[in-house]
Amino acid sequence: MSGERRVGRRAALATIAGAGAALVVTACGGGSSATSRNAATLAAQGSSTPAPGTSTGGVEGGPEPLLSGPAAKYAPAQAELTAAYKVAPNETYGMGLDTYAASTFFPGATEGKELATGWGFGEGYQVMLEPDGLLAGVLKGGYFVTAEVYLFRDQAGAKAAFDYYRSRYDSTAGSESAPAKGLANQSGGWQLIKGPVGTSSLVGIYHRFVFRRGNMLASVQTYGAQPFMTVDKARDIAVIIDERALGTRQATEPTPAGTTVPGLPR
């Protein structure tokens, strides 16, 4: 990997990683006042309706199963997506209570642990997929994907977690509801415009679709250029997770580390 690509990858990951922070992530392009003004201008210019591509698959409502682990077997596989992706190894991992509680989603690790313990948190798994070309790929319509799957002791715990997540996303500065067709037992979508993609004139946008199926809570976040993106791209990937949970799609564990796609379910 060339030095230029390493720098580009670090910049991209710094922008996209930390998805558990409820769309509160650092945008590309720096933080100067000029960039901030440019971002505001671009956001206003980029507010036109994105290209159609409504997500209508999946089951809204339905059973509330008590799912068993590992959480990783419900995560989407690379082969199930429609474009070329690579795994971001440092952003793909299993989670125990301490790791989950320490995520930037919670105000602090102590509060996170108290909440997670109260919900009966069992385990979690996150996989991050990078588009071909990283940010250059985003400018061509590609997008980053971060999928998270969490299992709780029972359905009531997962419901309490979903309600907390929804409250956090609803109250995040700049976050807006992104209407989408319902999925599973509970679901919701959000979006956040966060300045330009790198140094380009295209506006970057995050979408997140969260749903609960039984004792499982799952979240899919995408980051792409606004003209190409809607929440439906995140929802389509969420459908894959839900189908794995329902048993209508094969649920397999991650490929062992050391293969060409470390840590990624196949």
What residues does each domain of the chain span? Answer: 3-246
Helix (H) or strand (E) holding 74: none
Confidence (pLDDT) at 67: 98
Greatest mean pLDDT among 2-6, 78-82, 196-200 lies in 196-200
Question: Buried b / exposed e across 48-77, counting CB within 10 Å, b at 16+?
Answer: eebeeeebeebbeeeebeebeebbbbbbbb
Regarding the domain delimited by 3-246, which CATH topology (the fold level of the hierarchy) does it fall under? Answer: Protein Transport Mog1p; Chain A (3.40.1000)
Tokens of 211: 């749903």
pLDDT at 64 over 50: yes
Helix (H) or strand (E) holding 222: strand 216-225
- Looking at residue 6, its amino acid is R
What is the tens place of the pLDDT at every residue in 147-193? Answer: 999 999 999 999 999 999 999 999 988 999 999 999 999 999 999 99
Confidence (pLDDT) at 79: 81
Confidence (pLDDT) at 254: 66
Residue 167 DSSP label: H
Confidence (pLDDT) at 261: 35
pLDDT at 37 over 80: no
What is the tens place of the pLDDT at every residue in 234-256? Answer: 999 999 999 999 999 998 876 54
Q: What is the DSSP string of 124-148?
A: EEEEEEEETTTHHHHTTT--EEEEE
Sign of the alpha-carbon dihedral angle for 80, 193, 165, 17: positive
Region 87-108: what's the mean pLDDT?
Answer: 92
Question: Buried b / exposed e across 255-265, counting CB within 10 Å, b at 16+?
Answer: beeeeebebbb
Confidence (pLDDT) at 19: 37
Across-strand partners of 199? none
Residue 134's Cβ-count burial label (10 Å; 0-12, 13-18, 19+) is buried
Question: Buried b / exposed e across 136-167, counting CB within 10 Å, b at 16+?
Answer: ebbbeebbbbbbbbbbbeebebbbbbbebbbe
Residue 60 DSSP label: B
Across-strand partners of 191? 176, 207
